[in-house]
Structure 1
């Protein structure tokens, strides 16, 4: 796998502070966000690189490993263990001398080869799993309501995926084998997709339930009647009982959001009635209300 310079992606120096990284990420993520660059594959690719760089450099432990091992940072624990075994072997075979220098990137394999006459080849040729990729995918509520296919550009490659109905905001799914190629015939890494569900002005989602507000006029509230409302899967005609109070709530079972990966399972739809009072009454209408108030 080619070396990716995360510092260069964020336009930072290696001594950048945590605050520097945060500011650079916000600036570049905003500039290359897919919403601001529709149908721009290059901007989408850059946005994903910026996210990947921020994920590594904003995490002190990951950054430490990256600074030490470069593109092989995800295998830092295995490489540290291999180095330790080599140091111990060196101590037994060379009168207890030890190596205390620092190295990073691909230098560790050259060091083993030069120090042990090729003895480091086993570690250099050991298979390692490829790097995992992370991507953010923004959906609107109606997109998340139905299963559908989307094509993503991940590290310059087109990946076609099926998004199951019912994904939640912030949810992550794993696509095994869609990450970077493995090292030395190791398995490929995985792709992790994080979903961001935008708010809907009408439908409010809480878990698998949906909440809406619907206006009815005073006469329907008092006398009863019918009201046609929009749901996520079409229009429904409802009966409004006479004497309906303001803020009364009606529950429609099974008319909410689909349950993730549970076919034919849905949450409920809750409707709050907002009673709209008449305004601009003429003299005759006011007189009628006055008569009603006395009855």
Structure 2
């Protein structure tokens, strides 16, 4: 079967590693936009945006290396661009793709699937841990201010420090601006020069002709990383502009924290690229166990063992508490495994120091396995008295 004559359409040259093609007029391979995003035709803009963000992460070619991922990424970006715009969506719903032709050249710059991705993912979680995407399809970060990453640290607290709060020193190794190049990444005494390979454009392109038309690919320059400039890198930071340094910070731990809680300290993480703002310091709390006390939410649990005689006639005992020793009255006739409540003697709620839990004291009755002869005689007499029998004096 012969193909129709290839007609000329306006070409959009993208700034990233992506393919632009002239398709033969009349050939249509576009899937329904709603099906592409996996949403219904009455989906809200919020639902459409959520679906796009999920699929864009999944199929971005810098993350997904499978064959066809890049084409899928472009298709879902095109679908989102249409369905997120009320006017375009209305035309598409009424006339299909044919109704959108008037928008093609007018907004071609925004039609770039990669630009659209960046507009919604200005700071993609984990971007730096994947290598920053430099030279992988995003604009080069050289010269662009980027917020620094968060730093993670663990802090071990004693039991009572977690209850009442504490001021603790935390040792952190974080990225700081290189003092040699002042964060620029450029060797002192040198200046950036126009990249010879790309002529300062930051991009190189190649074309390929196929039966379907011309395909043009645009790549970030692998010599300058897409910056359009070549530099002599700083010997200290090797062009990064940042170096890791150890520092000690004073952390005010609030009262009522527990193991597993995290404290986020704003702007105490690593410094950003090229003077970008700092990330945060995230401190994970671990609380050491106490010898006698146990945390149960905002309540404090402990165990008290009493004799069977004290259980019968009652007594007053001393129990450990978060404030030291405390007296607890044991009522006469208390049963084994009873829990007594010491109101508002527990831990404060996190962020609400006046809202305190209780101390719960679990009573254990100690029944002896062996008794002396005299004690046994007295117990037997007590038993007879209990059952209305005469006692031998």
Counterpart of 2:172 in structure 1 is 154
Distance 1:106 1:291, change over 3 A: closer
Q: Residues 205-257 of structure 1: CA distance to partner in whole angstroms, max 9, x if unpaired?
A: 11101111101112211111211111011211122111111111100111011
Structure with greater proportional helix content: 1
Contact 2:292 2:320 in 1 (8 A): no
Q: 1:198-217 counterparts in 2 under 5 A?
A: 198-217=288-307
Q: Residues 144-188 of structure 1: CA distance to partner in whole angstroms, max 9, x if unpaired?
A: 111211111100111111001110111111101010111122210
Greater Rg over alpha carbons, structure: 2
Q: Residues 20-64 of structure 1: CA distance to partner in whole angstroms, max 9, x if unpaired?
A: xxxxxxxxxxxxxxxxxxxxxxxxxxxxxxxxxxxxxxxxx9xx9
Contact 2:314 2:330 in 1 (8 A): yes
SS at 1:193 equivalent: strand
Q: Does 1:292 align with 2:382?
A: yes
Q: Does 1:281 align with 2:371?
A: yes
Q: 1:127-276 counterparts in 2 under 5 A?
A: 127-155=145-173, 156-276=246-366
Contact 2:293 2:320 in 1 (8 A): no
Q: Matched residues in 2 for 1:169 and 1:277: separation?
A: 37
SS at 1:263 equivalent: strand
The TM-score normalised by the length of structure 2 is 0.45
Counterpart of 2:142 in structure 1 is 124
Counterpart of 2:135 in structure 1 is 108
SS at 1:222 equivalent: helix
**RMSD between aligned residues:** 3.1
Runs of 4+ residues deviating >6 angstroms: none
Contact 2:255 2:353 in 1 (8 A): no
Q: Matched residues in 1 for 2:370 and 2:62: separation?
A: 71
Q: With CA pairs under 8 Å and 6+ residues apart, which has the higher RCO, 1 or 2?
A: 2
2:114 aligned to 60, 64, 84, which one? 84
Q: Matched residues in 2 for 1:214 and 1:193: separation?
A: 36
Q: Matched residues in 2 for 1:275 and 1:138: separation?
A: 36
The TM-score normalised by the length of structure 1 is 0.59
Q: Matched residues in 2 for 1:232 and 1:255: separation?
A: 8
Structure with greater proportional strand content: 2
Equivalences, count: 196
Q: Matched residues in 2 for 1:149 and 1:231: separation?
A: 22
Q: Matched residues in 2 for 1:82 and 1:291: separation?
A: 98
Q: Matched residues in 2 for 1:152 and 1:160: separation?
A: 6
Q: Matched residues in 2 for 1:293 and 1:287: separation?
A: 10
